[in-house]
């Protein structure tokens, strides 16, 4: 892992949280971050894009923890896993809240492990919107829809927003998708949108084997992992 000067960017220190703790049900139960992808693993292009421009990087994972630690970054699991129990796969809201308590810095940069097109200039664009809007949350927009798993979040605002964990929503008759819960949390207070429509194709999430096979062979849509990333 490379050593960088403290706070290399002209904005407050930032902790990146890479979400890799899902059950991967549509991928046949595979741990998506560790699916072989080109010259490495699916998570590696995201780490490659984020690592040089944040002050701390945390991987949220619930399986194969030693494999994730081999990338050289702290790994934070859901409380059930930390207690030695089977993971409940509580979703990105639970992961965000738990990882935020482990973060060193108050500004959090959220990213998914299954978006190999994550672009290195996105964090800078999110910061530009935050600095002009002074919003506590900035969410990426691809020109057609919100992308709540790509967001800049001021940690103190999380305690002011309602807890939208699934077990606190039993009064709702229909099941809500995890991504929708994350969107509701981020939009529960003041937020701003970051227009990243020029990179719409790069927002492809790899949820199924078909998604992986259909990923464009476009160099913008998957960075090669840098040499300092250690593979397990």
Is 217 known to sit in a ligand binding site? no
Residue 19 in marked binding region:
yes
Residue 52, CB-side half-sphere exposure with 13 Å CA sphere: 12
Q: Known binder of ligand: residue 106?
A: no
Q: What are the DSSP calls for 89-151, one per residue?
A: ---HHHHHHHHHHH-SSSEEEEEETT-TT--TTHHHHHHHHHHHH--SEEEEE-SSSEEEEEE
Q: Is 20 annotated as a binding residue?
A: yes
- Residue 171 among known ligand-binding residues: no
Query: C-alpha angle 101/106/111, rounded to 5°?
Result: 80
Helix (H, G, I), strand (E, B), or coil: what is residue 154? strand
Instruction: Give CA–CA dist 71/210, Å, rounded.
Output: 27
Residue ranges for the known binding site for GTP are 19-21, 32, 78, 114
Residue ranges for the known binding site are 19-21, 32, 78, 114
Residue ranges for the known binding site for Mg(2+) are 114
């Amino acid at each position: 892992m490379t050593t960088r000067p403290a706070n290399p960017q002209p904005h407050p220190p930032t902790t990146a949280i890479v979400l890799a703790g899902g059950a991967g049900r549509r991928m046949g139960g595979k741990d998506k971050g560790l699916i072989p992808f080109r010259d490495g693993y699916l998570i590696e292009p995201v780490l490659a894009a984020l690592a040089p421009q944040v002050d701390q990087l945390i991987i949220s994972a619930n399986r194969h923890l030693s494999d994730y630690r081999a990338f050289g970054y702290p790994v934070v699991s859901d409380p059930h896993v930390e207690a030695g129990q089977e993971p409940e796969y509580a979703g990105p809201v639970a992961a965000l809240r738990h990882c935020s308590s482990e973060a060193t810095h108050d500004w959090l940069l959220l990213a998914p492990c299954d978006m190999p097109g994550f672009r290195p200039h996105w964090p800078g664009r999110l910061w530009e919107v935050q600095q002009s809007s002074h919003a506590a949350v900035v969410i990426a927009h691809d020109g057609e829809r919100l992308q709540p798993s790509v967001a800049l979040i001021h940690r103190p605002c999380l305690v002011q927003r309602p807890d939208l964990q699934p077990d606190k929503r039993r009064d709702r008759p229909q099941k809500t998708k995890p991504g929708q819960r994350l969107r509701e949390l981020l939009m529960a207070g003041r937020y701003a949108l970051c227009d990243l429509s020029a990179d719409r194709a790069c927002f492809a999430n790899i949820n199924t084997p078909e998604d992986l096979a259909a990923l464009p062979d476009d160099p913008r849509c998957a960075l090669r992992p840098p040499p300092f990333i250690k593979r397990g």
